[in-house]
Amino acid sequence: MTNDLHIEKVHAGTEHTLLDWQYVHNLIIPADPLSLEDVRERSGRNHLEVAYLGDTLVGCSTVRPPAEDPATATVIARILPDHRGRGLGTKLYEHNLAKARELGATTVETVVLGSNPEGLRFAAAHGFVETERYFLEEGDTVPWYTLSRAV
């Protein structure tokens, strides 16, 4: 297996990338599973990518372009648990940070589910600070964290 991370854009018409992105998202974010149609819709408004080492799926990412605050983009990098701790998340994050800059962002946010302590540590190690903690629905017991940093 190669050590080079290969990143591929998710297109609404490319079934294998849609399915791979969905798989990683739903494994890491079980509290908010997405259908294939949800992923297809998101691929039309956000920049979604999947990451591979050779032919092995290792992660996915999302860049939400600046919207309400024209200078803030959301960057989310997800690496499957078996592939963490090898710098892949950093490579994927830096790739997507460049995309956020290309879209005009001067600030980036990320969102991490509280049941993902590795994701929270990763965000803190990359300069993110918590700006919001919330629950998606009443009765939820695991919070979501929004974290932010300057580009």
> Which pTM value belongs to this model?
0.90
pLDDT of the residue at 56: 96
pLDDT averaged over consecutive 10-residue blocks of the chain (151 residues)? 79 88 96 94 95 96 86 95 94 96 94 92 96 93 95 89
> 5-150 adopts what CATH topology?
Aminopeptidase (3.40.630)
CB 51 within 8 A of CB 60: yes
pLDDT of the residue at 3: 64
d(CA 68, CA 35): 26
Two structure tokens written together for 125: 């190690």
pLDDT of the residue at 11: 79
How many Cα atoms are found within 13 Å in the side-chain-facing hemisphere of 103?
Answer: 24
